[in-house]
Amino acid sequence: MTCGSSKSFSNRSDGRRRVARQHPLRGIADIPPSHYTGNEATGSSQAFFLHRSDVKQYKRLDRKTDLTARKDIPPELTFLGATGTVTGSKSLLTVGDRKILIDCGLFQGFKQLRLRNWELLPVEPREIDAVLLTHAHLDHSGYIPLLVRDGFAGKVYCTPATRDLCRILLPDSGYLQEEDAAYANRHHFSKHDPALPLYTREDAERSLHSFRTVAFGKEFDLGEGLTFQFIPSGHLLGAALTRLQRNGTSLLFSGDLGRPNDLLMAPPSVIRKADYLIVESTYGDRPHDPDDPKKKLAEIINRTAARGGVVVIPAFAIGRAQTLLYAIHLLKEERAIPDLPVFLNSPMAIEATGLYYEHLGEHRLDEAQCRAMARAATLVHTVEDSKRVNALREPMVLISASGMATGGRVLHHLKTFAPDERNTILFAGYQAGGTRGAAMAAGAKTIKIHGEYIPVRAEVIALDQFSAHADADEILDWLGRFETPPRETFITHGEPSAADALRHRIEEKLHWRCRVPDYLETVHLENT
């Protein structure tokens, strides 16, 4: 079997192209600051707002024409996101009359990417039969509330841990967007009145009724002879490789691929065979620093404490915050760092930490270690407590969301501590282009937060050793365990340079047939 012809939704003769989002209750499309940094060079928090007429309009393919036309067409795979970027993961698999969406994420980072969140999909949500969700992070799950609100009536299949994490993440995402829209209205950031959120907390909570859990390893029938199976990927609690099969032919989505030596998660499962492979490439152009991440963290904390400073760590609330807590617990136990105060200031991270108790066996920690992780920091629940912590002026470690400094309580800490050269701002995860985190990591001398330009005099460090994404070498090692090459490998979820570098290495080392698909490109999967 080989991969057949490819095409793009943006230039198809049948007219199937993007359409701008229109909603009976929405007169504008506003992108809240939690997903936007405003000034790409400085990481401004100011949201931008637009009218639906500002977004290019397209015609959607007629359903009846589509189904008639594809009676003799082999299965198709369309890349609706995470091509040329790490965000917006969505892949549409069409098999006969069945349409399956693998992941349903938000675009994040640069303005031109976030605008895509406001454009309707090139397929009616009501036509999609199911969503297979690889894991809970918003760049994979955050579009689900929109999909459901716009008419999706199928089920969202995921592992139990992914569902539990989405119960935290999605309502919080809706709430933050409502708050950001309200802030924009108060301060007149929008030329339209009123500014509205992309979706609300209520939208997100309603979408959770569509979730159904499937255990790791269980084969589930989707109809049309198509089955799927979730396999541990090691990236995050509940994260899965997703394998679909039909007529003896398999299609494997890596989702986000974990690492062999992660502090919390086991290595990604070994896969021996897949006819088609879709693999991520977040770090496809570089290796992670081989130094022990705990040792590097200790050096940073000790150096900052010695000069009387504060270590502020913008951290992803789910996954990274817990890894950092456990690392700090181990360092204190080893007496590698002083017994200075540590604060976890993220309600979402606090709630997510408790889920590690509920999913023992899906990560490396036992119950006692989970307890030690949770006790490694003072938990900051209320806004009043957050303000009190922000007023402290003693050596301490502050872990707070969001991980790319696009929103959340960490913004208040950055306003307070970034101007002081005694302090350290430590980024412990991937920083997407167009975010404050990326700007600061690149050496920005000022950042814009809540309409103010804040000087950055603190030491800024990017420590990618704590990344939960496999680097280029680790991806190659994982691929090298395949017993036979896939018939076609598609490289996604990476910036153009990273995806192309990984493609080159796969071709050079493994001699596989592989390529980087274009946004909205459709490929035929022959003989399935």
Task: Express each pLDDT in 450-491 by its tens digit.
Answer: 889 999 999 999 998 999 999 999 999 999 999 999 999 999
Q: Hey, how many other C-beta atoms are within 10 angstroms of the C-beta on 48? A: 20
Tens-digit pLDDT profile for residues 374-398: 999 999 999 999 999 999 999 999 9
Percentage with pLDDT > 70 across the chain: 85
Contact assessment for residue 207 and residue 198, using Cβ atoms and an 8 Å cutoff: no
State the average pLDDT over residues 342-362. 96
Domain borders along the chain are 67-173+208-286+468-525, 293-466
Query: Of 459, 387, 514, whose CA–CA distance to 3 is shortest?
Result: 514
Please give the Cα distance from 8 to 521 (Å, whole number). Answer: 4
CA distances from 439 to 123, 403, 405 (A): 35, 13, 10
With beta carbons less than 8 A apart as the criterion, state whether 288 and 313 touch: no
Which pLDDT belongs to residue 180?
A: 80
Q: What confidence score (pLDDT) does residue 50 get?
A: 42
In this prediction, residue 176 has a pLDDT band, given cuts at 50, 70 and 90, of: confident
Find residue 5's DSSP bridge partners: none
Residue 74: pLDDT band by 50, 70, 90 thresholds? confident
Nearest to 358 by CA among 134, 140, 155, 167: 167
Half-sphere exposure of residue 317: CA atoms within 13 angstroms, side-chain side: 30
Mean pLDDT of 294-318: 97
For residues 159 and 238, give the distance between their C-alpha atoms in angstroms, rounded to a whole number. 6
Per-residue pLDDT of 93-104, as tens digits, reads 999 899 999 999
HSE (side-chain half, CA atoms, 13 Å) at 90:
28
Choice between 33 and 293, residue whose per-residue pLDDT is larger: 293
C-alpha pair distances (Å), 153 with each of 145, 211, 224, 342: 12, 11, 18, 44
The tokens 């400073």 sit on which residue? 309
Predicted local distance difference test score (pLDDT) of residue 183: 81
The pLDDT of residue 179 is 86
On the question of pLDDT at 36 being above 90, the answer is no
Q: Which of 36-40, 62-66, 121-125 has the lowest mean pLDDT?
A: 36-40
Q: Which residue has the tokens 């829209």?
A: 181
Q: What is the mean pLDDT of residues 432-456?
A: 94
pLDDT of residue 191: 67
Q: How confident is the model at residue 9 (pLDDT cuts 50, 70, 90)?
A: very low
Q: Can you tell me the distance from the alpha carbon of 523 to that of 526, in angstroms, rounded to the nearest whole number?
A: 9
Residue 345's pLDDT band, with cuts at 50, 70 and 90, is very high
State the DSSP code for 21: -
Average pLDDT of the chain, as a whole number: 88
Q: Where are the alpha helices (DSSP H) in 246-382?
A: 293-306, 320-333, 347-358, 367-374
pLDDT tens-digit readout, 197-244: 999 999 999 999 999 999 999 999 998 889 999 999 999 999 999 999
What pLDDT is recorded for position 7? 55
Amino acid 40: pLDDT: 29
d(CA 370, CA 34): 30
Is CATH 3.40.50.20 the classification given to domain 293-466?
no
Give the single-character DSSP code of 445.
Answer: S
- Least confident piece of the model among 33-42, 146-155, 166-175: 33-42
pLDDT of residue 526: 79
Query: Average of pLDDT values for 3-29?
Result: 40
What CATH fold (topology level) applies to the domain 67-173+208-286+468-525?
Metallo-beta-lactamase; Chain A (3.60.15)
Q: How far apart are CA 458 and CA 416, in angstroms?
A: 11
More confident residue, 254 or 118: 254
| CA 389 to chain centroid | 29
Report CA 70 to chain centroid distance, whole Å: 33
Residue scoring higher pLDDT (65 or 205):
205
Q: Which residue did the predictor score with more confidence, 92 or 11?
A: 92
Mean pLDDT for the stretch of residues 124-128 = 98
- What percentage of the chain carries pLDDT values higher than 90? 78
Copy the structure tokens of residue 133.
């969700």
CA 178 to chain centre: 20
| Structure confidence at residue 3 (pLDDT) | 56
What digits encode the pLDDT tens for the residues 501-524?
A: 999 999 999 999 999 999 999 999
Provide, for the chain, the percentages of residues in helix, strand and coil under a 3-state DSSP scheme, each rounded to the nearest 5. 30, 25, 45
What's residue 199's pLDDT?
96
Q: Give the pLDDT of residue 245.
A: 97
